[in-house]
Amino acid sequence: MRGLAAIAAGGAVWVLVTGRLPTLPGRPLRPPPAATLGLSMVAFVVGTALALGLLAVPSAALAIGGFTATTPFLVEAARRRRAVEQVAGAWPDVLARLRARLAAGETLPDAFIAAVAAGPAPLAEAAREVADAVAFGDGFAPALERLRDRLADPTADRVLVTLAAAHRTGGPHVATIVGALAGSVADEIRLRKAHDAALTEQRMTAAVALIAPWALLTLTVATNPQAAAAYRTSAGTVVVGIGAVATGLGFVLARRATRLSRLPRVLR
């Protein structure tokens, strides 16, 4: 207990002194939106109340409420992941339009702005920012660098760094470079989509394995008064607590085992 308190105190001091959250290698920790935190608290209260009313076992109700509280965070994480995948998946089409406009004689900045403007909303908004930067003399390459920081995505890094280098180099080979880049990015995205589809069955199996014990516990306690009485004892509370910890660890390990490797960002 003292060790946990010391770790918590150290983390609090870190945040107060540095003004930022600790980070893990390769993946910064971002505080969740306030709305997600609020929904999580509501989900915890509602889930705990419903489970307590159905089971009348406080330890099981708290565990189920805790699992319910993670739902808003999972939904938010899925939303962010879909947004990143949408932008990453749009790059092959953007590069194809860019190559066509270069072949028609447009300059690289003008062709890039027009090609990106026809993409999904995050890229369309970025096109306006790049257009403003070029119009006010800030330069195309610095605008791409700011766009890299904003998108914070490995695929965007590859595309924007290559385009910035092509813009500085110039010459008749820009269209060839863009074509090769488009083919490389399209192959990479196609491979990752196929890999992700292959992992779908594993994710479903892991979800069933995590949910099944708690569904069985709920059914047993709700239909068997003797089992409910046993889980209200100190020993029953310990069993539920161990099960909750095991489920949490299993969830973390399952997510790590069934997610795609994250490409490192380049030239940060």
Our count of domains for the chain comes to 1
pLDDT tens profile 124-140: 888 888 888 888 877 88
Which of 18-32, 87-101, 187-201 is predicted least confidently? 18-32
User: Does 1 score more than 50 pLDDT?
Assistant: no
**Does residue 38 form part of some domain?**
no
**Does residue 174 form part of some domain?**
yes
Are the C-beta atoms of residues 86 and 267 closer than 8 Å to each other?
Answer: no
% of the chain at pLDDT higher than 70: 84
pLDDT value at position 260?
61
**Does residue 118 form part of some domain?**
yes
% of the chain at pLDDT higher than 90: 17
Mean pLDDT of 90-99: 91
User: Does 23 score more than 50 pLDDT?
Assistant: no
**Does residue 74 form part of some domain?**
no
Domain that holds residue 129: 90-194
Which of 97-106, 176-185, 233-242, 249-258 is predicted least confidently? 249-258
pLDDT tens profile 151-210: 888 888 889 999 999 888 877 788 888 889 999 989 988 888 888 787 787 888 888 888
pLDDT value at position 35?
82
Are the C-beta atoms of residues 158 and 266 closer than 8 Å to each other?
Answer: yes
Give 156 or 19, the one with higher predicted confidence: 156
User: Does 85 score more than 60 pLDDT?
Assistant: yes
**Does residue 49 form part of some domain?**
no
Q: How far apart are CA 57 and CA 194, in angstroms?
A: 44
**Does residue 138 form part of some domain?**
yes
**Does residue 18 form part of some domain?**
no
pLDDT tens profile 58-81: 999 999 999 999 889 888 888 888
**Does residue 109 form part of some domain?**
yes
